[in-house]
Copies of this chain bind each other. A is one copy, B any other.
Protein backbone atom coordinates (compact mmCIF):
# COMPACT_ATOMS: atom_id res chain seq x y z
CA UNK A 1 0.00 0.00 0.00
CA UNK A 2 1.37 3.31 -1.07
CA UNK A 3 1.68 5.96 1.55
CA UNK A 4 2.15 8.91 -0.73
CA UNK A 5 -1.01 10.77 -1.42
CA UNK A 6 -2.51 10.33 -4.82
CA UNK A 7 -2.09 13.16 -7.24
CA UNK A 8 -0.52 15.39 -4.70
CA UNK A 9 3.13 15.46 -5.46
CA UNK A 10 3.15 19.17 -4.88
CA UNK A 11 3.43 18.78 -1.14
CA UNK A 12 0.74 21.36 -0.65
CA UNK A 13 -1.46 20.36 2.29
CA UNK A 14 -4.64 21.39 0.56
CA UNK A 15 -3.93 18.92 -2.22
CA UNK A 16 -3.29 16.11 0.21
CA UNK A 17 -6.47 17.00 2.04
CA UNK A 18 -8.58 17.16 -1.10
CA UNK A 19 -7.15 13.85 -2.13
CA UNK A 20 -7.88 12.22 1.18
CA UNK A 21 -11.42 13.55 1.31
CA UNK A 22 -11.95 12.78 -2.34
CA UNK A 23 -11.96 9.05 -1.78
CA UNK A 24 -15.04 6.94 -1.83
CA UNK A 25 -16.81 6.91 1.52
CA UNK A 26 -14.35 9.15 3.32
CA UNK A 27 -16.56 12.21 3.49
CA UNK A 28 -19.52 10.04 4.24
CA UNK A 29 -17.83 8.33 7.16
CA UNK A 30 -16.75 11.62 8.67
CA UNK A 31 -20.29 12.80 8.28
CA UNK A 32 -21.73 9.79 10.07
CA UNK A 33 -19.42 10.46 13.00
CA UNK A 34 -20.69 14.01 13.32
CA UNK A 35 -22.64 13.41 16.50
CA UNK A 36 -22.08 10.21 18.39
CA UNK A 37 -19.30 7.65 18.18
CA UNK A 38 -20.09 4.71 15.97
CA UNK A 39 -19.03 1.08 15.93
CA UNK A 40 -17.34 -0.55 12.99
CA UNK A 41 -20.46 -2.40 11.96
CA UNK A 42 -22.63 0.63 12.50
CA UNK A 43 -20.55 2.52 10.00
CA UNK A 44 -20.82 -0.42 7.67
CA UNK A 45 -24.60 -0.51 7.89
CA UNK A 46 -25.07 3.24 7.75
CA UNK A 47 -22.91 3.77 4.71
CA UNK A 48 -23.50 0.48 2.96
CA UNK A 49 -19.80 0.19 2.22
CA UNK A 50 -17.97 -3.10 2.44
CA UNK A 51 -15.97 -3.83 5.56
CA UNK A 52 -12.81 -3.80 3.50
CA UNK A 53 -13.37 -0.19 2.53
CA UNK A 54 -14.64 0.88 5.90
CA UNK A 55 -11.51 -0.50 7.43
CA UNK A 56 -9.24 1.08 4.83
CA UNK A 57 -10.86 4.50 5.18
CA UNK A 58 -10.82 4.33 8.95
CA UNK A 59 -7.14 3.49 8.82
CA UNK A 60 -6.47 6.48 6.57
CA UNK A 61 -8.55 8.77 8.75
CA UNK A 62 -6.81 7.56 11.85
CA UNK A 63 -3.42 8.12 10.31
CA UNK A 64 -4.58 11.60 9.37
CA UNK A 65 -5.55 12.10 13.01
CA UNK A 66 -9.11 12.94 12.12
CA UNK A 67 -10.65 9.86 13.66
CA UNK A 68 -9.77 7.75 16.67
CA UNK A 69 -11.05 4.57 18.23
CA UNK A 70 -12.30 4.63 21.77
CA UNK A 71 -12.73 1.06 22.94
CA UNK A 72 -15.64 1.90 25.16
CA UNK A 73 -17.77 3.82 22.69
CA UNK A 74 -16.42 3.27 19.19
CA UNK A 75 -14.97 5.41 16.43
CA UNK A 76 -15.20 9.14 16.90
CA UNK A 77 -13.79 12.34 15.51
CA UNK A 78 -10.69 13.76 17.08
CA UNK A 79 -10.48 17.41 18.01
CA UNK A 80 -8.93 17.97 14.61
CA UNK A 81 -11.62 15.96 12.93
CA UNK A 82 -14.27 17.99 14.65
CA UNK A 83 -12.76 21.19 13.35
CA UNK A 84 -12.90 19.79 9.86
CA UNK A 85 -16.48 18.68 10.28
CA UNK A 86 -17.48 22.11 11.44
CA UNK A 87 -16.18 23.50 8.16
CA UNK A 88 -18.46 21.06 6.39
CA UNK A 89 -21.61 21.64 8.36
CA UNK A 90 -22.81 24.51 6.16
CA UNK A 91 -22.93 21.94 3.37
CA UNK A 92 -26.00 20.43 4.92
CA UNK A 93 -28.01 23.59 4.50
CA UNK A 94 -26.54 24.41 1.15
CA UNK A 95 -27.27 20.95 -0.22
CA UNK A 96 -30.99 21.59 0.18
CA UNK A 97 -30.75 24.67 -1.94
CA UNK A 98 -28.63 22.82 -4.44
CA UNK A 99 -31.14 20.00 -4.66
CA UNK A 100 -33.88 22.44 -5.57
CA UNK A 101 -31.74 24.15 -8.17
CA UNK A 102 -30.82 20.93 -9.91
CA UNK A 103 -34.24 19.35 -9.76
Give the interface of A toward B (CB within 8 A): 6-7, 9, 13-19, 21-28, 31, 47-49, 63-65, 80, 83-84, 87-88, 90-92, 94-96, 98-99, 101-102
Contact = CB atoms under 8 A, between A and B. Distances in A.
A28 B18 contact: yes
Main secondary structure of the interface of A (DSSP, over half): helix
A23 B92 CA distance: 18
B64 A102 contact: yes
A25 to B, nearest CB: 7
B83 A94 contact: yes
A95 B17 contact: yes
A26 B22 contact: yes
